[in-house]
Amino acid sequence: MKKITAYLSICFITLISCNGVEFSPNQKFRDETPQNVNKTQIEKLKPKNAGERIRIAVSGDTQRKYREAALFVDQINARNDIDFVILNGDISDFGQLLEFEGVYNIYSKLKVPFISIVGNHDLVANGPSVFRRMFGDFNFTFKYGDVKFVCFDSNSREYNFNGLVPDMNWLSANLKLEADVKNIVAFSHIPPDDADFDPKLRPVYEQLAINTPGFLASVHAHQHSPDRTYRPNGSNIPFIITNAIVNKAYTVLDIYNGKIETYPTTF
């Protein structure tokens, strides 16, 4: 608690001294706070024809590591092969507006769009209100090329394992191919084999993914450890857990010809 208080005090002093603006740790938004960022970023995606290669940089767990986040942005901006970035949860550490704004200000310098997913740390304190206003819904989908991306809240512990998160009804309705969609990739912060994912819903989600036509992979973060992949129930479907910005690492996902490959990267 002392560390949290000290951190917020530093943020408070810095904001006042640099900008002449008062800030409260309980504040949910300011006039300058961006809104509907995910919608805006998705609209910035450059057109992609069906069948073209899609390359994504997945970066989870920024959590006050602003220097590392800035280095990551420099890395992506130095490349010319990334279509967009997924910020796969734990944008903040304590669910504070100042943290969300700090990361947004860094990621907004990316030359490609970035799309953000809610993490468990984003659901503490005022985090839920801040995330919804800044980024949008916890569960959402978007299409790029002929791939459908299904992004969802899997932070079960934050809901006391109430059996409603992840929302299996919503997932069942959205993990479906459409007329112009050949493949599906899912993103959420907590991996199904993690203790923070509802153990009763793990087999339900895994089996739904396995049984979904065109499903390529389920991609997660949260564990702050080197990339790993598991395939449940003897299936060929990869459940990918990526490393973290806090470890100066990200993962490139390459989607082409109905297959997905991963390239762990450090900086």
Whether pLDDT at 70 is above 60 = yes
- Which of 25 and 12 is assigned the larger pLDDT? 25
**Residue 23, pLDDT score:** 56
Strands 54-59, 140-144: pairing is unpaired
pLDDT band at 155 (very low <50, low <70, confident <90, very high): very high
Would you say the C-alpha torsion 211, 183, 176, 117 has a positive or negative sign?
positive
**Residue 26, pLDDT score:** 73
Domain range annotation of the chain? 28-266
Q: Is the pTM of this model over 0.85?
A: yes
Partners of residue 116 on adjacent β-strands: 87
Q: pLDDT, tens digit, for every residue of 222-231?
A: 999 999 999 9
* Domain at 28-266, CATH homologous superfamily: Metallo-dependent phosphatases (3.60.21.10)
Question: Mean pLDDT across the chain, nearest whole number?
Answer: 92
pLDDT band at 249 (very low <50, low <70, confident <90, very high): very high
Whether pLDDT at 4 is above 70 = no
Considering 3-12, 23-32, 232-241, the range whose residues carry the highest mean pLDDT is 232-241
Whether pLDDT at 213 is above 70 = yes
pLDDT band at 18 (very low <50, low <70, confident <90, very high): very low
CA distance 213 to 205: 14
**Residue 243, pLDDT score:** 98
